[in-house]
Amino acid sequence: MYGYSGKILHVDLTTRKTWVESKPEEWYKIYIGGVSMASRLCWENIEVGCDPLSPGNPICIANGMFAGTPVPVGGKYGLASKSPLTGFIGDSLSSSWFTIALKRAGWDGIVIHGASDDWVYVFIDDDRVEFRDASQLLGLGTFQTEETIREELGDDQVRSATIGPAGEKLVRVASVTNDSRQAGRTGHGAVWGSKKLKALSVRGTHGVSVADPDALLQLSYDITQAAQGPHTQKYRILGTMANVLNLNRLGILPTRNYQQGVFEYAELISGEYLHEHYHVKTIACAQCPIACEQMSQVKDGPYAGAMTGIDYEPLYAVGSNCGVKDLRAAIKTIDICDRGGMDAMSTGVTISWAMETFERGIFTKEDFKCAKYPEGFEPNFGNAEAVVTLAEMIRDREGIGDLLAEGSKRASAQVDAERGTETWKWAMHIKGLETPGYDARGLKTFALGLAVGTRGACHNRTAAYDPDIKGEVDRFSVDETRGKLAKSTEEYAAVYDTLPLCKFIRRCFTGKADRAGAWPAIAKLINATTGWDFDYDAVDLIGERAFTIKKAFNIREGWTREDDHLPWRWMHEPMKEGPSAGYVVSEEELEYMKDLYYEAKGWTKDGLIPKEKLIALGMEDVAEEIGV
Amino acid sequence: MPTSTSKYQYITCDPTKCVGCQLCEYICSYVKTGEFNTYRSRIRTVRAEEILITAVACRTCEDAPCVIACPRDALSQDPNTGIIHVDANRCDGCAWCVEACDFGAISINPETKTAEICDMCEDLEDGPQCVKWCPKEALELTTPDRRAQRSRRKLAVEEVLGR
Amino acid sequence: MPKVVVEFYGTARQVTGQKEVTIELKEGGTFRDVVRALAARYPKLVGDVIQPGGEELQMPNMFNVNARRVVHDLDTQPQDGDRILLMFVTAGG
């Protein structure tokens, strides 16, 4: 087999035993890699119905076929466990050196079972596995943990995926970090923390062989060149931060916990402003010729010295969404999240829930007592220091941070149970995962894509904002096309997330990002790597299969149609101002669109998957368990 | 800070342009070993601090310390190009050259136990493949003299024209 | 004579150094005429934002009229007073 080793490494933290599982080529042709393979490994290895923070929940890592080759943006991996935020599949992506080291060590995937009694980190040194004491790493931030391990092992080629203090404390919005990139969403850091696993370190010294290296090189070279042109200008120059002003102008920039879609200080937190005042260096993931990470540094004021890569999604969450207009405070908050090992999106949206709860008089100053402010503080929207402090309190589970560390769904449920309030109405999440940086009241196809998403409110898994923003449909209304569009866009995204390739490359194959523009080129890359004979249809099936295995996982964990919901606010409170003023996604619209979507997917009206559908996709064993 | 005294060409990296993508390492290892293994690249990217990224290969020093250090006379320097050639029959992988190199530009192949040094792809028509591939044009085949000329020009433009 | 305002975002703003510009069109002027006027006024937009030739927008840049609708046919006409957003929106991050 080319492009794969055919081997999955199993590591049991309870027994400290390891074993190797061989997978047949047919299995790889169905699950490929990335989020699909990681989710399939999770399907195979989980104790069904387990608590996500119990030993029965495995950590599943899957490389991509392109990791370790010069295929641009192919250095990504999938990470899957049952999410402690949603109770459904938590499938995340991260990128860069770690996955390439894993590939060179000879592993297509890793499954970590059980839980350790003492804090450990696991060192995979090619085919040797070592359980190492992690007590000296406790409390260290993510970047520092990586450096310390490199020093301890005496090789700067050792790459690690780590958790920070937040993961150690089982903060449910905690992430996993490697090479300053995050598998950010769905709370993986808490799963690792529950197993007392501080890091997974890898040294891989072997080469990666592909079926037709000369063809692969030529294809890669051409894509690399195209990636320097207009197709990636936004990512290279301003990074994803260019979205701030665009989305603000369209009236869908989440502002003050989604109470507004226009932020009057948007210019001050824009990509343009960041570039001019705080940008210090542009960085690429390993194997990426685009380079989109905008490293930004605070040079003055109380947060001087804070530095991290700034992307749009973390920024809206801790910026406009908390009413914060000072980029220095936003950079500091994201720095706290990145080093502390937390998802800045879920952290920001949970903080904004707390701010609104305070402004409505349910929380008081008393509730915000902490070591730094013994008398408490008043977290009104726009109070930048409050946002910084709350991020630290969540990371450390200090004071009210202990509540907020549970994420907005659990925090609001707990407050409502204790105080008889209805704060859940402004808890902005779907299935427990906080909403991304687009107000879906002004993007109706996207609203459907988010509602039916298998991992909750994720913009990356459904690309359904695309037809709305590009104007292929009217973004303010609903019609019979939306079910097919939601299916088509989520499966499109899933092809990239499964190979995985970073979606930022999608226009560089032919200049056109649609299936016709990209799939034939991707088929060539797959064939030159593996020696397979994939064509357009085979590439297209990758996405449908990926979504199917994730959905099947959710169904087995108890999913029902009611779980495909939207936050109450988006369904009941019209946008007040801007171009999207007056709109909500009504119950009727949502249910109508869900019907259309399930039908387009070939599922039942209840959203369940017929046996024959699963068998046609090559998933006979899945059909046995959950097919109807 | 060691500096090369070379009159020869070598591959240099502009750290303000380098983004750390490692494509140079992929292409180098493929050209030299037939497989993709950045561990075996003769040019190495370095991320020393969070925002300090560059790449390093042989600087073709004059009176090259690695040649002098070799106890078996396995290393020799081409007087025309400055490229260091390794005689695989003589080299026993003792790594004295590795220690002697101030740039960390030499490594020992773990299987053959011989030293590996950038040869600027001298046998390829289109020259160093890493330079050809670098998507950010951070890598360049140059000499210290040419770099100095460019620095002087840049300084003049900055000081006189203020841009 | 119809007048429209073109608002610049992202690359377009960086290249022009301006947030917006007012363009006067002849009676019956089209969105393509707006592209032509921009290319003439800001030659640097040609390349990353406007296709060489100055007749078409470079994918994936687009015109959005009044933040309400996207222009699919450049040969249609804007209304007097329209605000035309020149932007490049793709999600991510």
In chain A, which residues fall in CATH 1.10.599.10? Answer: 440-626
pLDDT of residue A511: 87
Q: Is A305 on the interface with B (CB under 8 A)?
A: no
Asked if A254 and A570 touch (Cβ cutoff 8 Å), the reply is no
Interface subset of C 32-51, CB within 8 angstroms of A: 47-49
Task: Tell me if C53 is assigned to some domain.
Answer: yes
Q: Is C68 on the interface with A (CB under 8 A)?
A: yes
Looking up tokens 């387009």 gives A600
* Chains B and A contact (Cβ–Cβ under 8 Å for 3 or more pairs): yes
Looking up tokens 């009044």 gives C66
Q: Of A69, A283, A297, which is closest to B20 when you measure between CB atoms?
A: A283
What's the pLDDT tens digit per position in A439-483?
999 999 999 999 999 999 999 999 899 999 999 999 999 999 999
Average pLDDT of the residues in A366-384: 98
Instruction: Provide the pLDDT confidence category of residue A65 given band limits of 50, 70 and 90.
Output: very high
Average pLDDT of the residues in A369-390: 98
pLDDT of residue C14: 86
Contact between A70 and B20 using a beta-carbon 8 Å cutoff? no
Instruction: Provide the pLDDT confidence category of residue A334 given band limits of 50, 70 and 90.
Output: very high
Contact between C11 and A237 using a beta-carbon 8 Å cutoff? yes
- What ipTM was estimated for this complex? 0.94
Average pLDDT of the residues in A430-439: 97
Q: Is A24 on the interface with B (CB under 8 A)?
A: no
What's the pLDDT tens digit per position in A517-531?
999 999 999 999 999
Q: What is the CATH number of the domain that holds C23?
A: 3.10.20.30
Task: Tell me if C79 is assigned to some domain.
Answer: yes
Q: How far is B108 from chain A (nearest CA, A)?
A: 13
The answer, yes or no, to whether residue B1 has pLDDT greater than 50, is no
pLDDT of residue B163: 67
A348 residue type, one letter: G
Interface test with A, best of C44, C56, C69, C89 (most A CBs within 10 A): C89
Average pLDDT of the residues in B31-36: 91
pLDDT of residue B158: 84
Topology (CATH) of A7-203: Aldehyde Ferredoxin Oxidoreductase;  A, domain 1 (3.60.9)
Q: Of C14, C48, C93, which is closest to A311 when you measure between CB atoms?
A: C93
pLDDT of residue B5: 61
Report the Cα A42 to chain-centroid distance in Å.
17
Q: Of C7, C11, C69, which is closest to A234 when you measure between CB atoms?
A: C11
In chain A, which residues fall in CATH 3.60.9.10? Answer: 7-203
User: For chain A, what is the mean pLDDT?
Assistant: 96
Interface test with C, best of A240, A245, A296 (most C CBs within 10 A): A245
Task: Tell me if C60 is assigned to some domain.
Answer: yes
pLDDT of residue A210: 95
Angle (deg, nearest 10), helices A515-530 and A482-498: 30
A408 three-state secondary structure: helix
Sheet containing A76-82: which strands, arranged edge to edge? A17-22, A7-12, A109-113, A59-62, A76-82, A89-95
Number of domains in chain C: 1
The answer, yes or no, to whether residue A572 has pLDDT greater than 70, is yes
Instruction: Provide the pLDDT confidence category of residue B7 given band limits of 50, 70 and 90.
Output: confident
Topology (CATH) of A440-626: 1.10.599
Tell me the count of A-C CB pairs closer than 8 A.
97
Q: Is A267 on the interface with C (CB under 8 A)?
A: no
Average pLDDT of the residues in A118-133: 98
Hey, which CATH number is domain A236-430, 1.20.1050.10, 1.10.569.10, 1.10.490.10, 3.30.70.3280? 1.10.569.10
Portion of chain B with pLDDT greater than 70, in percent: 96
Q: Comparing C-alpha atoms, which of A93, A56, A67, A165 is closest to residue A459?
A: A93
pLDDT of residue B155: 87
Instruction: Provide the pLDDT confidence category of residue C90 given band limits of 50, 70 and 90.
Output: low
Average pLDDT of the residues in A241-250: 92
Interface test with B, best of A65, A146, A288 (most B CBs within 10 A): A288
Q: Of C9, C14, C92, which is closest to A246 when you measure between CB atoms?
A: C9
Task: Tell me if C93 is assigned to some domain.
Answer: no
* CATH number of the structural domain B10-161: 3.30.70.20
Instruction: Provide the pLDDT confidence category of residue B3 given band limits of 50, 70 and 90.
Output: low
Interface subset of A 421-460, CB within 8 angstroms of B: none
Please, what sign has the CA dihedral across residues C7, A244, A504, A225?
positive
Contact between A100 and B37 using a beta-carbon 8 Å cutoff? no
Average pLDDT of the residues in C81-86: 96
Task: Tell me if C37 is assigned to some domain.
Answer: yes
Tokens of A515: 């299936």
DSSP state of A435: P
In chain A, which residues fall in CATH 1.10.569.10? Answer: 236-430
The answer, yes or no, to whether residue A76 has pLDDT greater than 70, is yes
